[in-house]
Amino acid sequence: MCGIVGYVGRRSAVDVVIDGLRRLEYRGYDSAGVALVADGEAGGLEVDKRAGKLANLEAALADHPLPESFCGIGHTRWATHGVPSDRNAHPHLSADGRIALIHNGIIENFAQLRAELESDGIEFASDTDTEVAAHLLGREYVMEGNLTEAMTRVCSRLEGAFTLLAVAADDPDTVVGARRNSPLVVGLGRDEYFLASDVAAFIAYTTDAIELGQDQIVTIDRSGVSVRGFDGSPSEGKPFSVDWDITAAEKGGYETFMAKELREQPQAVADTLRGRIDESGQIVLDEVRMSDQDFRDVDKVFIIACGTSYHAGLVTKYAIEHWTRIPCEVELASEFRYRDPVLDRSTLVVAISQSGETMDTLMAVRHAKDQKARVLSISNTVGSTIPRESDAVLYTRAGIEVAVASTKAFLTQLAACYLVGLHLAQVRGIKYADEVSAVLDELVAAPGKIAQVIEGLEPVRQMARDCALNGGSGGGRVLFIGRHVGYPVALEGALKLKELAYLHAEGFAAGELKHGPISLVEEGTPVIAIVPSPRGRSLLHDKIISNIQEVKARGARVIAVCEEGDRITSAHADFVIETPASPTLLAPLLTAVPLQEFAIEFATALGRDIDQPRNLAKSVTVE
Ligand code: M6R
């Protein structure tokens, strides 16, 4: 939700800031803006901001370049308060025009502050919550004469979630930032310093970084970095080094980041498993700061997550309950804390979040910790807030995922969750050693099978284009059905199509269809069925074949994702996508992939923006 960048150094600030915004645009793309402090004695602020994607701002800057500057801030917005427009775009200025400020988050007491400022005669130039912070900072700066002091005083008045960056017209050497609940990292270059929502913004210049803690204020100038608490006391961040380079944040010859990331899945899953299974077949989860005894004490598991990560959690429930016999509930993080779940010290809460910053999940984690539950997070972002506030963490190793729609994050979350489930089974002695090893062998074989699925995607692409271009038939919707772990895969397939193609797509438990949703089926409606393995005379398989017949009888065009060689399914479906044989519980690692490609191709045929679908942002840092 909103990308922010700040820079002080020896390079052209506008170039560094725009470059950073380009890499952060996945966080929001409703508008973009920059503020630079002109170099030299006179200083002065130069601001440009435009509604729409960053390209609009870049075009404006090409027409009217800003004066030379080595100090600046920039913002790419996901709108919360106020429509996407030039006037609501950040930066916002203080009433005297001497301070420019950008913000990620929501200032919850903005209405009260706005009323107070308006009663003092201040006129507002936007509908945003952010502008109150700009005016307060302007007022404090006049009194304090020091941006860091002024920011400290302003933070004591704000409630909610905010990362703020500010520059002052008469200080061409300083950017001040503040962080509460929304991400902010510092990049350490040689005689140059960066502030950003995410390291991707400055990875082209440095891999040395500092992670800021909760309620900290940071000041960068040409001589270095200083950190203090909101109470003004000296503090420090946590240094770390970024272990991927700029090529990971480039498209590498693909049309879209999503197409590239889909094809990185075999490697990402292999990387997530790497080093986590020792030679004797024991699962070794080094970063997990929970002892075997802690895992033995668990008598209930709650999984909390949002969106795609929630779907990974739904798959995990089947695996954990089957492998460990521990009851497992999965809950949308945004609902969790509001219904007063029953938690105690022997409850294990697994929080799944690619970004590690999703506010709904973070708040659910805090609630779980308040109730004394142990929290294990599964995240792709080292040093992000959710892992930092958890008792234990297992990192997926998907590398940076730029496309808003998740692909490799999902598959690596599944891999990490399977490891957690099998680890629980191992330490509790629920399964024989050879049973666990058999699953682990299959897990280790999964990357090769995912690669096989990817190699066979061409027919899926053609079929998806055909479906998209014949969207007029079938009620203009696509339904996804599945049973058991195929059900969460159906939900994920529908989410991918919804977010990319802006089309009514819905996933159902196949058995539930006849209880209502089957009325959505009409002549030509595409119904994508995730079919479990037919091996071992699977009851599940028989049941979904019946469900396929039910929709076919009502005119559906059935597309089946099934195991290779499944002749029964091929006899009933209009189009078949085969995946390699896999144990039932691990099948989502394979069956989700063609649905990702289906969504990309379907949406491409409709001319949609694949990497930046409308109204969305990758990292949702508001509740
Ligand atoms: O970063 P998180 O995993 O916490 O994000 C949760 C959801 O916002 C996310 O999974 C979202 O649904 C996907 N990007 C959709 O493809």
Q: Which of 2, 155, 417, 467 is catalytic?
A: 2
Atom of ligand 1 nearest to the CA of 409: 3
| 469, HSE (Cβ side, Cα atoms, 13 Å) | 9
Residue 390 shares a structural domain with residue 272 = yes
Q: Which residues pair with 561 in a beta bridge?
A: 530, 577
Closest to 49 (Cα-Cα) out of 24, 98, 84, 95: 84
Is residue 202, in this structure, part of any structural domain at all? Answer: yes
Residue 51 shares a structural domain with residue 124 = yes
Q: How far is the CA of 381 from the centre of ligand 1 (A)?
A: 13
Distance from C-alpha of 213 to C-alpha of 217, rounded to nearest angstrom: 9
Whether the CB-CB separation of 126 and 107 falls below 8 Å is answered with no
Q: How far is the CA of 614 from the centre of ligand 1 (A)?
A: 15
SS3 530: strand
Q: Among 244, 268, 298, where does a domain finish?
A: 244
DSSP characters for 64-106? SPPPPEEEEEEEEE--SSS-SSTTTSSPEE-TTS-EEEEEEEE
**Residue 2 falls in the annotated catalytic set:** yes
Residue 494 shares a structural domain with residue 428 = no
Is residue 176, in this structure, part of any structural domain at all? Answer: yes
**Residue of 354, 362, 616 best suited for mutating to test ligand 1, as the one with most atoms within 8 Å of CB:** 354
Residue 40 shares a structural domain with residue 72 = yes
Supply the range of the domain harboring residue 144: 3-244
Torsion angle defined by CA atoms of residues 439, 441, 445 and 450, in that order, rounded to the nearest 10 degrees: 10
DSSP characters for 120-138? TTPPPSSS-SHHHHHHHHH
Residue 218 shares a structural domain with residue 296 = no
Residue 289 shares a structural domain with residue 411 = yes
State which residues of the chain have pLDDT below 50.
Answer: none
Q: How far is the CA of 429 from the centre of ligand 1 (A)?
A: 34
Q: Which of 260, 431, 449, 618 is catalytic?
A: 618
CATH code at position 184:
3.60.20.10
Q: What does the pLDDT read at residue 308?
A: 98
Q: Among 427, 450, 473, where does a domain finish?
A: 450
CATH code at position 304:
3.40.50.10490
Residue 470 shares a structural domain with residue 550 = yes
Residue 81 shares a structural domain with residue 205 = yes
Is residue 291, in this structure, part of any structural domain at all? Answer: yes
Is residue 107, in this structure, part of any structural domain at all? Answer: yes
Domains in the chain, number: 3
Q: What does the pLDDT read at residue 161?
A: 84
Q: Residue 362: what are its φ and ψ, rounded to 5°?
A: -60, -45
Q: Among 244, 274, 306, where does a domain finish?
A: 244
Residue 210 shares a structural domain with residue 278 = no
Whether the CB-CB separation of 384 and 238 falls below 8 Å is answered with no
Atom of ligand 1 nearest to the CA of 405: 16
Q: Residue 12: what are its φ and ψ, rounded to 5°?
A: -65, 120
Q: How far is the CA of 112 from the centre of ligand 1 (A)?
A: 32
Q: What does the pLDDT read at residue 444?
A: 96
Residues with Cβ < 8 Å from 228, sequence gap 6 or more?
Answer: 148, 152, 216, 217, 234, 235
Residue 360 shares a structural domain with residue 220 = no
Q: What does the pLDDT read at residue 126?
A: 96
Question: Cis bond leading into 84, ω under 30°?
Answer: no
Is residue 251, in this structure, part of any structural domain at all? Answer: no
Residues with CB under 6 Å of ligand 1 are 306-309, 353-355, 358, 361, 404-406, 495, 499, 618-620
| 27, HSE (Cβ side, Cα atoms, 13 Å) | 32
Residue 262 shares a structural domain with residue 231 = no
Q: How far is the CA of 503 from the centre of ligand 1 (A)?
A: 19
Distance from C-alpha of 600 to C-alpha of 576, rounded to nearest angstrom: 18
Distance from C-alpha of 458 to C-alpha of 461, rounded to nearest angstrom: 5
Is residue 599, in this structure, part of any structural domain at all? Answer: yes
**Residue 618 falls in the annotated catalytic set:** yes
The protein residue with its alpha carbon nearest to ligand 1, atom 16, reads 405
Is residue 252, in this structure, part of any structural domain at all? Answer: no
Is residue 621, in this structure, part of any structural domain at all? Answer: no
Residue 25 shares a structural domain with residue 154 = yes
Place of tokens 């599964």: 378
DSSP characters for 460-517? HHHHHHHHHHTTTGGGGEEEEEESTTHHHHHHHHHHHHHHHH--EEEEEEGGGGGGTG
Q: Which residues pair with 300 in a beta bridge?
A: 347
Q: What does the pLDDT read at residue 41?
A: 72
**Residue of 306, 363, 378, 619 best suited for mutating to test ligand 1, as the one with most atoms within 8 Å of CB:** 306
Strand order in the sheet with 347-353: 328-332, 300-305, 347-353, 374-379, 392-395
